[in-house]
Structure 1
Amino acid sequence: MKVAAYCGSRPGVRPEYMEFAAKFGKALAENGHTLVFGGSHVGLMGAVANGVLDNGGNVIGVVPDVEYIKSVEHKTLTKTYYTATMSERRNKMIELSDVYVVLPGGPGTLDEMSEVYCLNQLDIDKKPCIMANVAGYYDMLKAFYTQMMTEGFLVDDSLDELIFVSSVEEIIDIIARL
């Protein structure tokens, strides 16, 4: 399977974020999956990619024409696609992927996750979206979406379309069942 990983280009303050990302990358490679990601060699993105590459797996990067992102581009990927904009990058990653996994990250990560979640709700793209809730990172996001349901802005079962997990093993098990 081609697995999109949405995650931060920064390491975060907790060591377990980088550890989780590296372990996830290793597990993808060991299970024969291909990583699709934003093409950076830094932060969680770099840790996932290196985890795959260091274990003989394939990695596809999608790099937009944005100066900062180009300055931290991972140079040893299996394949790299270049896009003109961030929107084109998101679209290309969606096109290439069979499943989405969201690790900790910032606004860019939430933007990518929100796009695929919305497409899922609209029945435009019904690929699973797995939330890697490392050290409870996404607890507040889950509570916020629950509040949206309570207030009538989400259909009651729509939170079920985001699969919250806390381990790499759970992610790999879910992907294996697809």
Structure 2
Amino acid sequence: MKRLAIYCGSATPADPFYLDLAREVGATLATRGIGVVYGGGRLGLMGAIADAALAAGGEVIGVIPQALVDAEVAHRGLSELHVVPGMHQRKQLFTDLSDGFVTLPGGTGTMDELWEALSWAQLGYHADPVGLLNARGYYDHLVAFWAQMAQVGFLRAQHRDLLIVGDTLDTLLDRMGGHVPTQPIVRMDAGDL
């Protein structure tokens, strides 16, 4: 994996653990020679991951909608900053520029990005690993929901492993490195759907 799209919050939670986690992820990816593709913001976890990766000599590519540039939240010190018209173009460029996806703690925007990466993998629009960093159990309920979808039958058996979960970055990256693409929906027979 040469570049990873990193999905995370633009907020700054009161607990410093989350900013420290983002900084650790940014520095670790840079040290491993893995470029960061992220939302292009300077605030919250987004800014922390970008600053740490840059400080460690890493490549950081931001992809940000024009509306957020106009709101003056763009990070101006990145390796590259792509300004796009809206969120759809942003997520497409994340996919085009990356070899995988890692989701850190975040809110609704982070969830939107994660679910779209999973949906696109399920459909066959990409075959890249989709990782979830479940630091401090932040995503325990989401992981349980993923299992519930499979148990009920809304998640096909061949897609259960699309969500790769790790509680540390090292564990997650190791698991993502072993990712084997699954059979996408677009290549299934109608009887299998």
Question: Shorter-chain TM-score: which interval?
Answer: over 0.9
1:111 pairs with 2:112: yes
2:76 corresponds to: 75
Shift of 1:18: 1.2
Distance 1:170 1:103, change over 3 A: same
Please tell me the residue identity of whatever aligns with 1:19. D
The one-character-per-residue Cα deviations of 1:28-52 (angstroms, maximum 9, x if unpaired) are 1111111000001111111111110
> Contact 1:8 / 1:105 at 8 angstroms: preserved in 2?
yes
Shift of 1:177: 5.5
Structure 1 residue runs of 5 or longer lacking an equivalent are none
Shift of 1:3: 0.8
**Alpha-carbon distance between aligned partners in 1 of 2:163 and 2:58, rounded to the nearest angstrom:** 26
1:120 corresponds to: 121
Shift of 1:70: 4.2
Please tell me the residue identity of whatever aligns with 1:63. I
Q: Report matched runs for 1:77-156 at 5 Å.
A: 77-156=78-157
Percentage of identical aligned residues: 38
Structure with the larger RCO, 1 or 2 (CA within 8 Å, 6+ apart): 1
2:46 corresponds to: 45
Shift of 1:64: 0.4
Structure 2 residue runs of 5 or longer lacking an equivalent are 180-193
Task: Give SS of 2:157's match.
Answer: coil
Please tell me the residue identity of whatever aligns with 1:93. F
Task: Give SS of 2:40's match.
Answer: coil
> Contact 1:130 / 1:163 at 8 angstroms: preserved in 2?
yes
Please tell me the residue identity of whatever aligns with 1:58. E
TM-score of the aligned structures, taking structure 2 as reference length? 0.86
Task: Give SS of 1:12's match.
Answer: coil
1:26 corresponds to: 27
The one-character-per-residue Cα deviations of 1:84-126 (angstroms, maximum 9, x if unpaired) are 0111111111110001000011111111111110111112211
Number of residue pairs aligned between Structure 1 and Structure 2: 178
Task: Give SS of 1:71's match.
Answer: coil
Shift of 1:68: 7.0
Q: CA RMSD in A?
A: 1.7
| Structure possessing the higher radius of gyration over alpha carbons | 2
